[in-house]
Chains A and B, each alone.
Chain A
Amino acid sequence: MKFIHQTYGRFLPVLCSLLVLQSCSKNFQEINTNPDAVSSPTPQYIFSKALYDGITNSGNTQSLLLGHMQYTTSYNDVAGFGSKYVAAQQSQSASVFANSYSTQINEIGEVIKAVKDNATQVNLYAVARIWKVFCYSRLTDLYGDIPYSQAGQGYNNSVFQPVYDAQKDIYADLLKELDAAAQALNPANTTTFGAADLVYGGNSLQWKKFAYSLMMRLGMRMTKIDAAAAQSWVTKAITGGVITSYTDIAKVSYAGSGQDINKNPMALNMLNSDYIKADGLNNTEGGKYQQSFIDSLKNNNDPRLSVISVVYQSGVANSTPVVQKGLPATINGVKPADFGTYSEPKQSTVLRVDAPMLIFTAAESYFLLAEAALKNWYAAETASALYEKGVRAAMQQWDLSSGVAGTITSIQTDAYVAAHPITGKGSSVENQLEQIYTQFWMGIFPDAQEVFNNYRRTGYPKLVPNNYPGNATNGQFFRRFLYPVVEQTLNTNSYKAAVARQGADIFLTRIWWDK
C-alpha cells in the first residue's frame, strides 16, 4: 500500500497537468444538470396538469364503471369485465389507484408546496386544496381506505410506504379542507390561477360554489353510516351556496386536436378502445351500449336516447329511437351475428374529443338537494321542485357536450318532466328516492362513478347484476375496487393494516360509508 502512495506522489502532478485536470471534478455540477428541465416549478403550469390528470385518472375513463353501471358492455370478456366481473380480469380495477398518485396527487402536492406560504396567493392555495379534495374523494370512494395523510410525500418527507388512512378519517379531513378552503377564497384578491385554471378561469366565487357542492356530495355520502354528520355537512354546504346554474357547472374544456392530454379523456378512451372506425362493425373491443340502459331510455321515451345513441345501418349512423338496441352483457365471448345492429355512443356527442368534461353539474346538485329536501335537511324548496329542476338541468347540459346535436328542446323536456314526476314510482320517501336516483343514472351519464357512488349508498337505480360464468362476485355488483397487487409487495405492512381494518381486498367488501 505504501508503495502505491509513493507512486502517486511521483506521477500525479505530471498526469494531472497533462490532462489539464485542474480540478478533478470541475464543471461536474453543470454536466449533471439536465438541459431539458428547470429546477423551480411554475405552480400555474403544474396546476393545469393536475386538473387534466385528476379528470383523466378516474373510474370513468376506463369502460369498467360504464359497464358496471350497465351503460355499456362487450361480448369480449376482457373488455366486458365491468359488466361481467370475470375473476381472471379482476386486476383491471386497480389501475385508477395505480395511476393517480404519481400524477394528480403528486402535482397538486407540488402546487400546494409552491403557493402555500405566500400570503398573496391565498386563492391559489385554496383552489389547489379544493382540487386535492376532489382527487382524493374520487379515489377513496372507489377503494375505501387509501393512503392519504402520508401519501405523495415520497420526495418531501421520504415516505415510501404511506399508511392507509381509514376512510372515515379521510372524509373528516376532506370536509374540513373544503370548509377551510371555501372560507379562505377571497374574491377581492385578484391573484388567481387565471388562464391556468381550466375550470373557472380564476373565478373565486365559482370555486367557492364548487367547494360547497363537493361538500354536499361528500356529506351526502355519509347518509348510511353517520346521518347526523351527513346532515350537518350538507346543511353547511347548502348554506355556503352550491352550483345550481348552468353557467356555474364545473367543467374542463378540451381541444379536438393536438396531444391526447388536450382531448376529452372519456371520449378519447371510448373512441380508441372501440368506436374509432365508426361503422358499428369493427368495434375493437366489441363495445356497445348495454341492454338495460337502452331499454330504460326507450321505455321512458327519453329524448336523450337519440342524442347519445346510434345504430349504424349500411355504414350510416341512425339515431332514431326505434332502431336503438342494447347488447346483453351475458354474451360468452362470441361476437353476435347481428353485432352491427346494436346501439353505440354517438360520434357527435358522447364521443366528441373536444367536448368539455363535466365534473360537477347543476343537475347533480338538484338531485342531491331533492334528497336533502326529502330528508327535511333543506326546506327552501320542495323535493319535487328540486327533482324537476334536476331533470331539466340534466337535459339542458347535453348541449355543453355536443352543441346543436345535443340540444334537447323545451317541448321534449316538458313532456319528459310531465311523464316522470318524483312520485313516478310511488309516493313514499323511499319511492321518491328511487325516482331521484333512477333519474340520476339516466341524467348524469356518462359520470358512471357518481352513479356507482350513489347506487351503493341508496341502492338505486335498481339494476339487476349479471351472473356471468367465472365471475368473481357470485353474480353481485362490486362494492369497491381492488388495490394494485404491487401494494402487497411494496407497501406490505400498510396494505395488511388496511385489509385488517376494512376487510378482505375483494370486490364485495363494503367501504366505510357503504356499511
Chain B
Amino acid sequence: MRIKTRTNLLIPLFSSFCIGSAFAGHTQEIAGNGYKPVYAVSRNTEQNEPMVISLKDAINELKSFYKIKIAYKEGLLNSKMVAASVTTVFKNMDAEAALKHLFTNTTLSYKKIGNNQFSVFESRTTDMPATGVTVLSVPIRGKITAARDGSSLPKVTISLKYYPVVAVVSDESGNFNLLVPDELKDKSLVLIISSVGYTTKEIKVTDPQQAITVQLDESNKELGEVVVTALGIKKSSRSLTYSTTEIKGSDFTQARENNVANALTGKVAGVNATGISTGPGGSSRVVIRGNGSLTGNSQPLYVINGMPIDNSVPGGSATPNGITTNVDRGDGMGAINPDDIESITVLKGGTAAALYGSRGANGVILITTKKGRAQSGIGVEYNSTLTMENVSVFPDFQYQYGQGDGGIKPTTLLAAQASGRRSFGAKIDGSTDYVAADGLTHPYSAQRDNLKHFYETGNTFTNSIALSGGNESILYRLSLSDLNSKSILPNSKYNRKTANLNLSAKLSDRLRIESVIQYSLETAKNRSTAGDALGNPNWTPYEVANTVDIRWLNPGYDSKGNEVIWNDAAIASNSYFVVNKHQESDDKNRFIGQASISYDLLKNLTFKGTITRDFYNYNYTNILPTGSAYTPLGEYAGIKSDVSETNSMLTATYTTKIANKFGISVLAGANGRNYTEKRFNLTGKNYIQPYFYSFSNLATSSTTPYTGRIKTNSVFGSVDFDYKRILFLTGTGRQDWFSTLSSNNNSIFYPSVGLSFILSDAVRLPAVVSLAKIRASWAQVGGGGPDPYAINLTYSSVPSNSAVPLQNVTSSIITNTQLKPFTSTTTEIGINLQLFKNRAGIDLAVYDRKSTNDIVSVPISTTSGYSNAILNSGELSNKGIEVLLTVVPVKTSGFSWDMSFNMAYNKSEVLKLADGISTFSLGNSANGNAFINNNVGHTYGAIYGYRMLKDVKGNTIFDTNAGLPAQTDINQELGKGVPPLTMGFTSEFKYKAFSLSWLIDGKFGNKVFSVMEVYATRLGLLKSTLPGRETGLVLTGVTPAGAAYTKTIPVADLRSAYYNSLNRYTELFVHDGSFVKLRQVIISYNIPVSKFKLLRIQSASIALVGRNLLTFYKKTDNFDPEQSLTNGPAQGIESIGLPRTRSYGVNLLLKF
C-alpha cells in the first residue's frame, strides 16, 4: 500500500471532486507551529476541510509521518472515525504519544513491539483504556443540534480549548461523550465545537455532571467559504475575481415553486427571474444582468454538477399573440426536484462563466445536487409540502351599467348572445326582465365575483423521500419525489415524478468515480393557453358582461357536446367549453445521466473524464374538439420529439506551491457537445367521425419532420495563481469550434483575466473591518449561431395531395453564408467588505457588458421575400450596478436576526443591428397594436405602438372621416418591457426552535401593455368607458387643418362608434409595471423530537409557508404587473392569461 497524502485522503468524503481537491490542496493553511492547531482547522472552512477522517487514514498518516510500522487485525479499524484535528498535532509529540492521543476516545490499545513497530488491538474494557490515561469518573456528555431545524448533528468535533488532544466526534444522534484527562479536573474547561458549514462555538463547562446541549448556527455567507464555480470547481470565495451568489437548497424546499428557477425571484442581485403566469408546470424566465442577446436568447446556461443540461421549451415558447395551441409547455428546469438540490450558485457572467464558453455568455446557474454522506446506517429524509393557491388580483371593473349595447339590456336570448361580453347596457337596477345567454331570466344586478366563481382553489402536494449513506469508499443518495398539482383552472393538472440516484466511490487511492442518474416524468393536462381568444379559457371570466354570473354558462356545451354560444364572436370561446371539452395533454420522459472518472496520475495532477447525457422524449397533443363554435369540425396539433444534449469532457488539473508563497493551479480540458432534436409536428383538422379524437380520424392532416443537429468542440484552460493568499490572479482561455457557423470562420478563442486582492490582509485596517476585498475582472466569450442550417439556402417539399409535387424555400429566414462567431465582453469590478466581526457585509459590483457581432435573426420587411434575415452585426450594451447588504443586528444563543438586501440596476442599450436596420421586433400583441422592439439607440425590449395625435397645444387631432382621434405612426416608444431596477429584501428571525423569515421584492421602471384592458374597453367593462352612458359622449378636438372639431356619439353608438375603436391607441393600455410584493413568508418550528424518542426521528420541523401573499405597491388597477404569459423575449404584454395567485401551505421535514 502506498503512502497517501492527506489531501488525497479527504477527497471521497467531499463533494469536491478531482478539481476541487486540487484547489483545496493549495489553499490549505495548516498552522505548523504554535499551540492552536485545532483552530486552524476549524476556522479554515473555506477549504471545506473535513472534521473527521477514518481512523485507518489517520493511522496511515501517522505511519508515514513517523516512518513506523503498525500492525493490526484486518477489519479492526473499519468504521472508526476520529477528529481530523488529531493528525495536525502529530509533529508536536513523539510517535507513541501520538498513538496514545489517537486512541484517546476509542476502545483500542497499542503495544510497542520494536523500535519503530507497534501493534494495535482491541482493549478489554472501554472504561479503562490500556493507554493508562486517567479519566474523569463522569465524562462530559452532551448533544449537538442544528439551530436551523433542531436536527441532530453527527460528526461534530468537540475538543477542549488549550488541550486539543482531548477531542471527540458526535455520533449519529449528535450525542457525544468527552473523556477528560484527570489532570485537567480542576482546570476551567472550555469546549470548542466545530463542524463544516457551521459557526464554531465555545462553551464554558460550568458543571461537568450536567449534559450540555449545543445548537450550532450555519455559518454565514462569509468570505471564508467555498464556492462552486465553473465546471464544478470549488474555490475559496476570497480568491474569486467576480461576483457569484450561492443559495442553499433548503431555500427552495419550504415555500416551493414548482419550477425552481421561479424561486430565484428577489433572491440574487442582478438576477431578474420572471414568474410566468401559466399554471403549474409552466416555464421560467431568468435573465442575469440584462438581456445579453438581441434575439432574446438571453437566459443563462443551466448546469448540473458541472455539466450543462437542456432548458428548452419543447416546440418553442408561447407567443404573445398565439391562439389555441399557444400554451407554455414548460422548460427543462421544471423537471428539477428542489429536494435534490444541495446548492445553486449563480455565476453572473463574464469571467465567472468564461470556461463555459458561448453558452455561458448570459451567465450560468450551477446546480449542485445532494450526495450521500459517510455514516453508519441509512439516513432517511422525508419532505412533504401541501400548498393551496387562489386568484390574488382582481380587475377593477365598472358595475354601474350592465350587459347590453346602446344603453339597452338584453331581454331575449338572441340579444343576450349578441351582447354576452358587452357591458354597454342599461343602468344596473336589479330589474327582472333581463335575459342572459343561458336563455333564463335573472335579476339585472352586478356580478363581481366571476373570477372567484370560475377559478378553483389550486393545490400542490409534494412528497420526497431520500435515502443516503455510505462509507469511506462508497457514498450513495437516492431520492424519489412526487409532485401533484391541480391548477386554479378547472380540469388542469400537472404531475411530476423524479428519481435521482447519486453514487460516488473511491476505487483506489487514486481512482474515483461518480455517477448521477436522474429520471423524471412530467405529465400535464389542459394547460391554459393565453394570447388571443380562441381556446383561451381565461377569456370568459375576464370579458363576460358584468351582470352575468359566469356559472350560468356552465358546462359550456349542449346535449350533443357542442359549444354553447355566449357572445357575438365565436372566436371568443366559452371558457367552460374549453375546460370541459378542449383536450391538451403532454408528457415528457427525461433522463439525465452523468458519469465521471478521475485519476491522480501524480499527487497533484489529476485527470477527470465526464460524460453527460440529457435526453427527453416529448409527446404533446392539443385537441380542438368537434362542436367548437369557431371550428365546428375540430382541429388537431401535436408534437413528438426527442431532444438530447451530450457532453464529453476531459480535464487535467495540476497544483503546486512555490516557496510557500506562491500557489499555482492549472486546469486544461476539452469538451465535445452534441445536440440533437428530432421532431415531428402533427397538424390536422376536421374529425371525420365527430367527437373521436385520433390523428387517424382527420380529414386533412400532415406530418412535418424536423431534425436539428449542433456540434461544438472546445479546448480550454485556466490558471490560478496566488501570492500568500492575499493576491489572486485567474486567467482562462477557451477555443470553440461551432458546426453552426461558416466553415471559413467557425472558430474563436477568447480569454479572461481576473484579480482579487485581500486588502485587509495586506494592510492593517481599522478593527471594525473584518475583511476588505477588491476584485476586478475582464472576460470575453464568444459563440456560434443558436440554430443549425443557417448558412445555406435550401428547398423543402410542401405537403400536397395533388398530382404535382410542391416545393419552396425551406425557411422564410434568409441564411447567411458568412456567419461568424459573436462575442460578449464583460468588465466587472467589485468590493467586498465584512464589518463588525462579519455582522455586516457589503458586496458591490459594477459591470459593463457588451455584445458584438451578435447573431440575430432580424425581422425584415416581408417585401424582401423573407420574414427575417440572419445578421451577424448586432451590438448591445448592458451596464449595471449590484449591491448586496447583509446585517446581523442581533445574534445571541437564543435569538438571532439576519437581514439581507439586494438591489440591481441594469441599463441596456441597443447599439447596432445591421446597416440600415434600426428595429428588431421581438413580438407583438394580439391584434398587433403593441410591439416589443429593440430599436437602435434605445433600451432592450421596449413597448411601441400608437398614440393619439395631438397638436402643439395638446389638442386631440381628429380623423374626420372616422370621427375618431387620429393615430400617430406606430413607432411611439411607450415604455420599457423589462424592469431596469430590481430589489429583494429578506429578513429572518430565529428564537430557539422558532424561525420567521420573509422576502419582499420589487421591480421598478417597466411598463406593461394590457390586452385584457383593450378588450375590457371595447366591451365596456372598464371604468374609463363610463363617460357618455346617459346622454352620449361629446368629443372635442381639432381637425387636421387646425379648426375646432366636435362630435357627439349617441348612446346607441357608444360602443361601435367610439369605445370599440380605442384599441387604435396603444398608449391607453400601457401602465407602469412597478411593484413591491411580499413574495415569501416562512414560519417554522423545530419539533423537539428528542423528547419523544419517537420512531427514531432525529429531527422534525414544520413550517407554514406562503408565496406571493401581498402586493404592497402596484400601479395597474386591473391586472398583476407580473402577468406574463411567455418565457420568450417579448416581455411587457399582458394577454388574458391565467390570473396570478397567492399560495400558502405547510411543509414538514423529517429526518430519521
Which A residues form the contact surface with B (CB < 8 A)?
Answer: 1, 3-5, 7-8, 10-12, 14-16, 18-19, 21, 24-25, 27-29, 31-42, 44-46, 48-49, 52, 75-78, 86-88, 91, 98, 101-103, 105-107, 109-110, 146-147, 151-155, 158-162, 195-196, 198, 254-255, 257-262, 272, 276-277, 282, 284-286, 332-337, 468-474, 476, 484-492, 494, 506-508
Looking at B705, B970, B1057, B1063, which has the most chain A CB atoms within 10 Å of its CB? B1057
The answer to whether A470 and B737 touch across the interface, beta carbons within 8 angstroms, is no
- Least distance between A102 CB and chain B CB atoms (Å): 5
The answer to whether B797 and A159 touch across the interface, beta carbons within 8 angstroms, is no
Q: Is B964 engaged at the interface, CB distance under 8 Å to the other chain?
A: yes
Number of A-B contacts (CB under 8 A): 339
26 inter-chain pairs at a CB distance below 8 angstroms, sorted by A residue, are A5-B733, A24-B747, A31-B788, A32-B791, A34-B789, A37-B789, A44-B804, A45-B797, A52-B806, A76-B568, A77-B1056, A86-B1060, A151-B863, A154-B860, A160-B861, A160-B917, A258-B802, A259-B799, A285-B570, A334-B415, A337-B412, A470-B1058, A484-B862, A488-B970, A491-B861, A508-B961
The answer to whether A46 and B747 touch across the interface, beta carbons within 8 angstroms, is no
The answer to whether A45 and B807 touch across the interface, beta carbons within 8 angstroms, is yes
CA–CA, A35 and B788, complex, Å: 11
Give the residue name and chain of the B residue nearest to A8 (CB). B717
Pick the contact of B801: A27, A162, A255 (CB < 8 A).
A255
The answer to whether A34 and B1057 touch across the interface, beta carbons within 8 angstroms, is no
Q: Is B669 engaged at the interface, CB distance under 8 Å to the other chain?
A: yes
Interface segment, B218-226, B331-339, B842-850, B865-873?
B865-873
Residues 1043-1064 of B at the A interface (beta carbon under 8 Å): 1052-1053, 1055-1058, 1060-1061, 1063-1064
CA–CA, A45 and B806, complex, Å: 5
Residues 957-974 of B at the A interface (beta carbon under 8 Å): 959-964, 969-971
The answer to whether B414 and A25 touch across the interface, beta carbons within 8 angstroms, is no
Pick the contact of B405: A49, A332, A471 (CB < 8 A).
A332
The answer to whether B795 and A154 touch across the interface, beta carbons within 8 angstroms, is no
Q: Is B59 engaged at the interface, CB distance under 8 Å to the other chain?
A: no
The answer to whether B731 and A91 touch across the interface, beta carbons within 8 angstroms, is no
Other than the known A86-B1061, A474-B961, what 13 A-B pairs have Cβ atoms closer than 8 Å? Answer: A11-B652, A25-B746, A28-B738, A28-B743, A42-B805, A162-B861, A257-B700, A276-B632, A333-B405, A335-B414, A470-B964, A474-B962, A485-B928
Q: Which residues of B contact A109 (CB under 8 A)?
A: 865
Q: Is B432 engaged at the interface, CB distance under 8 Å to the other chain?
A: no
The answer to whether A19 and B747 touch across the interface, beta carbons within 8 angstroms, is no
Pick the contact of B800: A10, A34, A259 (CB < 8 A).
A259
Pick the contact of A473: B804, B961, B969, B1056 (CB < 8 A).
B961
Pick the contact of A471: B746, B815, B962 (CB < 8 A).
B962
The answer to whether A19 and B650 touch across the interface, beta carbons within 8 angstroms, is yes
Pick the contact of B1060: A77, A195, A254 (CB < 8 A).
A77
Q: Is B907 engaged at the interface, CB distance under 8 Å to the other chain?
A: no
The answer to whether A32 and B806 touch across the interface, beta carbons within 8 angstroms, is no
> C-beta contact mask, B962-1002 vs A, less than 8 Å → 1, else 0?
11100001110000000000000000000000000000000
CA–CA, A106 and B789, complex, Å: 20
The answer to whether A154 and B866 touch across the interface, beta carbons within 8 angstroms, is yes
Q: Which residues of B contact A37 (CB under 8 A)?
A: 789, 794-796, 810
The answer to whether B793 and A155 touch across the interface, beta carbons within 8 angstroms, is yes
Pick the contact of A32: B788, B928, B970 (CB < 8 A).
B788
Pick the contact of A255: B418, B719, B802 (CB < 8 A).
B802
CA–CA, A16 and B668, complex, Å: 11
Q: Is B814 engaged at the interface, CB distance under 8 Å to the other chain?
A: yes
Q: Is B508 engaged at the interface, CB distance under 8 Å to the other chain?
A: no
Give the residue name and chain of the A residue nearest to B713 (CB). A24
- Least distance between B919 CB and chain A CB atoms (Å): 5
- Least distance between A308 CB and chain B CB atoms (Å): 22
Q: Which residues of A contact B944 (CB under 8 A)?
A: 489
Q: Which residues of B contact A75 (CB under 8 A)?
A: 418, 568
Q: Is B699 engaged at the interface, CB distance under 8 Å to the other chain?
A: yes
Give the residue name and chain of the B residue nearest to A74 (CB). B568
Q: Given A32-B739, A284-B632, A474-B962, are A48 and B1057 also a contact pair (CB < 8 Å)?
A: no
Looking at A35, A44, A276, which has the most chain B CB atoms within 10 Å of its CB? A35
Q: Which residues of B contact A147 (CB under 8 A)?
A: 861, 863
Looking at A4, A78, A282, which has the most chain B CB atoms within 10 Å of its CB? A4
Which B residues form the contact surface with A (CB < 8 A)?
Answer: 405-406, 412, 414-415, 417-419, 422, 568-570, 609, 629-633, 648, 650, 652, 666, 668-670, 672, 699-700, 702, 705-707, 709-711, 713, 715, 717-719, 721, 731-733, 735, 737-740, 743, 746-747, 751, 753, 788-789, 791-810, 812, 814-815, 858-867, 869, 914, 916-919, 921, 927-928, 931, 933, 944, 959-964, 969-971, 1018, 1052-1053, 1055-1058, 1060-1061, 1063-1064
The answer to whether A19 and B865 touch across the interface, beta carbons within 8 angstroms, is no
The answer to whether A258 and B568 touch across the interface, beta carbons within 8 angstroms, is no
Q: Which residues of A contact B928 (CB under 8 A)?
A: 91, 485-486
- Least distance between B675 CB and chain A CB atoms (Å): 10
CA–CA, A8 and B670, complex, Å: 11
Q: Given A105-B865, A162-B864, A470-B1058, are A28 and B632 also a contact pair (CB < 8 Å)?
A: no
- Least distance between B599 CB and chain A CB atoms (Å): 12
The answer to whether A106 and B961 touch across the interface, beta carbons within 8 angstroms, is no
Q: Which residues of A contact B739 (CB under 8 A)?
A: 25, 28, 31-32
CA–CA, A213 and B746, complex, Å: 53
CA–CA, A87 and B1059, complex, Å: 11
Q: Given A21-B672, A334-B418, are A492 and B800 also a contact pair (CB < 8 Å)?
A: no
Q: Which residues of A contact B858 (CB under 8 A)?
A: 160
CA–CA, A42 and B869, complex, Å: 23
- Least distance between A275 CB and chain B CB atoms (Å): 10
CA–CA, A276 and B629, complex, Å: 11
The answer to whether B916 and A489 touch across the interface, beta carbons within 8 angstroms, is no
Give the residue name and chain of the A residue nearest to B918 (CB). A492
CA–CA, A147 and B743, complex, Å: 35
The answer to whether B709 and A31 touch across the interface, beta carbons within 8 angstroms, is yes
Q: Given A1-B731, A284-B629, are A25 and B865 also a contact pair (CB < 8 Å)?
A: no
CA–CA, A261 and B960, complex, Å: 42
Q: Which residues of B contact A332 (CB under 8 A)?
A: 405-406, 1053, 1056
The answer to whether A152 and B964 touch across the interface, beta carbons within 8 angstroms, is no
CA–CA, A254 and B866, complex, Å: 27
Q: Given A8-B733, A260-B700, are A48 and B804 also a contact pair (CB < 8 Å)?
A: yes
- Least distance between A125 CB and chain B CB atoms (Å): 18
Give the residue name and chain of the B residue nearest to A196 (CB). B804
Pick the contact of B740: A32, A257, A337 (CB < 8 A).
A32
Q: Which residues of B contact A91 (CB under 8 A)?
A: 927-928
CA–CA, A78 and B927, complex, Å: 12
The answer to whether A36 and B569 touch across the interface, beta carbons within 8 angstroms, is no
Pick the contact of B648: A19, A27, A473 (CB < 8 A).
A19
The answer to whether B865 and A257 touch across the interface, beta carbons within 8 angstroms, is no
- Least distance between B868 CB and chain A CB atoms (Å): 9
CA–CA, A49 and B710, complex, Å: 31
CA–CA, A109 and B419, complex, Å: 48
Q: Given A88-B1061, A470-B1060, A491-B861, are A42 and B962 also a contact pair (CB < 8 Å)?
A: no
- Least distance between B600 CB and chain A CB atoms (Å): 16
CA–CA, A147 and B860, complex, Å: 13
- Least distance between B1099 CB and chain A CB atoms (Å): 46
The answer to whether B700 and A19 touch across the interface, beta carbons within 8 angstroms, is no
Pick the contact of A469: B715, B746, B916, B1057 (CB < 8 A).
B1057
The answer to whether B670 and A333 touch across the interface, beta carbons within 8 angstroms, is no
Give the residue name and chain of the B residue nearest to A487 (CB). B861
Pick the contact of B864: A49, A78, A101 (CB < 8 A).
A101
CA–CA, A484 and B810, complex, Å: 24
Looking at A110, A333, A336, which has the most chain B CB atoms within 10 Å of its CB? A333
Looking at B733, B815, B865, which has the most chain A CB atoms within 10 Å of its CB? B865
Q: Which residues of B contact A27 (CB under 8 A)?
A: 711
Q: Which residues of B contact A3 (CB under 8 A)?
A: 666, 719, 721, 731
Q: Which residues of B contact A102 (CB under 8 A)?
A: 812, 862, 865-867
Q: Which residues of A contact B702 (CB under 8 A)?
A: 259
